[in-house]
Amino acid sequence: MAAIYSLYVINKSGGLIFYKDYGSKGRMDTNDSLRVASLWHSMHAISQQLSPTTGCTGIELLEADTFDLHCFQSLTGTKFFVVCEPGTQNMEDLLKAVYELYTDYVLKNPFYEMEMPIRCELFDINLTRAIQKDRVALLGR
Amino acid sequence: MQFFGGSELSPSPPTPTGTGTENNSHMIYIFNRNGVCLLYREWIRPLHTLNFQQDHKLMFGLLFSLKSLAAKMDPTCADKGNLGVPQLPGQGCSFHSFRTNTYKLNFMETPSGIKFILVTNPGTGDLRETLKYIYNLYVEYVANNPLYTPGTPIRCELFNTAVNQHVKSISS
């Protein structure tokens, strides 16, 4: 049964602007999630330096023993990454859907300051709905 | 496809690849637990961003940090150390590969702290068995070699040949 453990959004400087945990035992406090996000931002950049060919845009998938990490980077440098069970399918589509929600409910919100933590209720509501729908679709198969 | 020779750490002349277009692998690195690069071979590497010393240090640093990140982000373990605390080999969750749009990096760490890294095309499948096989080659040709001093770069002809041969046989 595929499950999403957590979702992070980081701005183009590497600062964490959104973190949501969906029920993992490894729930992190604020400081740890900030550190992890910055670390990921740096690793993403370093991986581009080590590429044997030109045109590398950074890590898209990290596979570990107990989880997979899928990352999507928008053209502006904002990164969306999700920690999920190993072998979960369609995470790229989910990340693109989250990006759409981000553009609709966060960027178009006139009270939202760029690069600041996201505090938009509609974004939260629609995000939960998207994740739920994803979960139901996966379980339904 | 163009072929680029090995670095100064692998002094044996690289064998020309007649079937260069079928070769799936770009480079291989082997590090010991102190960060000394025991082996570095490249088969296809059109882009060199840094000189070899910096490249090895960067690679080792990246792997150290990614292991630390994976251990911290492990969703199945409630009690973890702080980020950046050096982990013993095998302790905590470790990653085994990551993929970008231009390459895939496959990683394996042995209980003695020897790290095997194989950089291949992004479409390559799970190479954990391949890395285990290369570890076995290391044990037979290098660790059991009485003339080899642990912690120094590997200069064993048989090992180089065996690794070359095995890596070429990886299919995508």
Average pLDDT on A76-98 reads: 92
The pair phi, psi for residue A49, each rounded to 5°, is: -70, -30
Domains: count for chain A: 1
- pLDDT for A64 equals 93
pLDDT-derived band at B14 (thresholds 50, 70, 90) equals very low
Which of B44, B66, B76 is nearest residue A66 as measured by Cβ atoms? B76
Please indicate whether residue B93 or residue A41 has the higher confidence score (pLDDT). A41
Evaluate if residue B46 carries a pLDDT over 90. no
Contact B100, A57 (CB under 8 A): yes
Domain of A10 in residue numbering reads as: 4-140
Interface contact B101, partner A, CB < 8 A: yes
The pair phi, psi for residue B9, each rounded to 5°, is: -80, -15
Which of B46, B50, B73 is nearest residue A26 as measured by Cβ atoms? B73
d(CA A48, CA B98): 12
Backbone conformation region of residue A77, classed left if phi is above 0, alpha if psi is from -120 to 50, else beta: left
Q: How close, in Å, is residue A2 to chain B by CA atoms?
A: 13
Segment B127-163, tens digit of pLDDT: 999 999 999 999 999 999 999 998 899 988 999 999 9
- pLDDT for B3 equals 31
The pair phi, psi for residue A93, each rounded to 5°, is: -65, -40
Segment A11-28, tens digit of pLDDT: 999 999 999 998 777 788
- pLDDT for B38 equals 93
Segment A24-35, tens digit of pLDDT: 777 888 899 999
Task: Please enumerate, as own/partner, the contacts of A65-69 that have beta carbons within 8 Å and a separation of 24 or more.
Answer: A65/B93, A65/B94, A65/B95, A65/B96, A66/B74, A66/B75, A66/B76, A66/B77, A66/B93, A67/A5, A67/B73, A67/B74, A67/B75, A67/B76, A67/B93, A69/B73
- pLDDT for A35 equals 93
Closest residue in B to A36 (Cα) is B69
- Give the mean pLDDT of chain B: 82
pLDDT-derived band at B48 (thresholds 50, 70, 90) equals confident
| CATH for B25-46+95-171 (3.20.20.10, 3.30.1330.10, 3.30.450.70, 3.40.718.10) | 3.30.450.70
- pLDDT for B19 equals 42
pLDDT-derived band at B116 (thresholds 50, 70, 90) equals very high
Contact flag B95-A64 (C-beta cutoff 8 Å): yes
Which of A35, A54, A61 is nearest residue B83 as measured by Cβ atoms? A35
- pLDDT for A84 equals 92
Evaluate if residue B20 carries a pLDDT over 50. no
CATH number at residue A58: 3.30.450.70
Closest residue in B to A42 (Cα) is B62
Contact flag B99-A40 (C-beta cutoff 8 Å): no
Please indicate whether residue B77 or residue A61 has the higher confidence score (pLDDT). A61
Residues, chain A, total? 141
The whole-model pTM stands at 0.85
A chain contacts of residue B94, beta-carbon cutoff 8 Å? 64-65
A chain contacts of residue B100, beta-carbon cutoff 8 Å? 47-48, 51, 56-60
Closest residue in B to A55 (Cα) is B102
Evaluate if residue B8 carries a pLDDT over 50. no
Contact flag B94-A62 (C-beta cutoff 8 Å): no
Average pLDDT on A43-50 reads: 92
Interface contact B93, partner A, CB < 8 A: yes
B chain contacts of residue A71, beta-carbon cutoff 8 Å? none
Partners of A79 in the beta sheet? A10, A73
- pLDDT for B2 equals 28
Closest residue in A to B4 (Cα) is A52
